[in-house]
Chain A
Amino acid sequence: MDTFAVLKISASALDAQKKRMNVIASNMANVHSTRTEEGGPYRRKDVVFSSVLMEQNPAPLEGVRIVDIATDNSPMKTVFDPGHPDADKEGFVTMPNVNVIEEMVNMMMALRAYEASVSVFNISKTMFMKTLEIGRQ
């Protein structure tokens, strides 16, 4: 039994949520990117979380990790903007499939999950400190 497994679980959650926040930031930053290294406009990215068993005994304790950063294949947005350098013959520009509102909602969810994990970490720490106080004074 790993005494500090609970701290590792919180740390794994903090790490996963932070990486998710990076992906969201990249989506938000590229909301108008019509050119990428792979060619074509930017495609929205999303993280895939998976639980990972950290300890089996005496109870299953599961942390979390990011197993994949998936590309969103939903259709791109087309905007009429004849003056844009990447506009086609009819004057339409293919814009990334990033929805700013959706990204904002995801960002808030990541933030809440991060905050919850920080509280868990602090509660665990308080519990450890209390345990060390047994038999003092």
Chain B
Amino acid sequence: MDSFRSLEQLIRYTNIRHGILASNIANADTPNYKAKDINFKLALDNELLLTTTSDKHMNNAGNNSTNEVIIKEADNWEDKNNVEIDMEVAKMTENAMLFQAGISLLQSKIKMYKSALRR
């Protein structure tokens, strides 16, 4: 049942990231607004802890960073706004595809359980 949990995490984090990217696009012309993102990879690694049966096995202990929000520092424009709208749309498309991949995988997983139960 572990993969259910990891897929759930994937869907949850892509959902959170989608909200952050939507904020960036909404504020593409707001003075002093700084583009934000979430450290998605670290957040995901944290949830996908490897199950180990020996101390010698690879694990991801020490990777304790939570889902940290990254605020982009660079100033590109006079109004102190640093949102690059094309980049944000590209990120959002990528993120939405990842989300849909998560949903599809979850669906096929459920399908597998269903067909196993039917026998």
A binding-site residues for B, Cβ under 8 Å: 5-6, 9-10, 12-13, 16-17, 20, 48-51, 55, 58-64, 109-110, 112-113, 116-117, 119-120, 123-124, 126-127, 130-131, 133-137
Contact = CB atoms under 8 A, between A and B. Distances in A.
A120 B19 contact: no
B69 A59 contact: yes
Contact of B96 (A5, A17, A61, A123): A123
Given A58-B16, A58-B67, A130 B22 contact: no
A131 B12 CA distance: 11
B38 A59 contact: yes
A59 B36 CA distance: 10
> What is the interface of chain A mostly: helix, strand, loop, or mixed?
helix
B74 interface: no
B92 interface: yes
Contacts of B17: 59
Contact of A127 (B15, B89, B111): B15
Contact of A60 (B36, B85, B92): B36
Contacts of A58: 16, 67
A123 to B, nearest CB: 5
A9 B110 CA distance: 33
Interface residues of B, number: 35
A49 B67 contact: no
Contact of A123 (B11, B18, B38, B85): B18
Nearest to A54: B23
Contacts of A16: 26
A78 B26 CA distance: 38
Contact of B27 (A49, A123, A130): A49
Given A119-B89, A120-B26, A131-B103, 14 more contacts: A5-B19, A6-B19, A48-B31, A49-B31, A60-B23, A62-B33, A112-B85, A116-B28, A116-B85, A120-B92, A123-B92, A130-B100, A133-B107, A134-B103
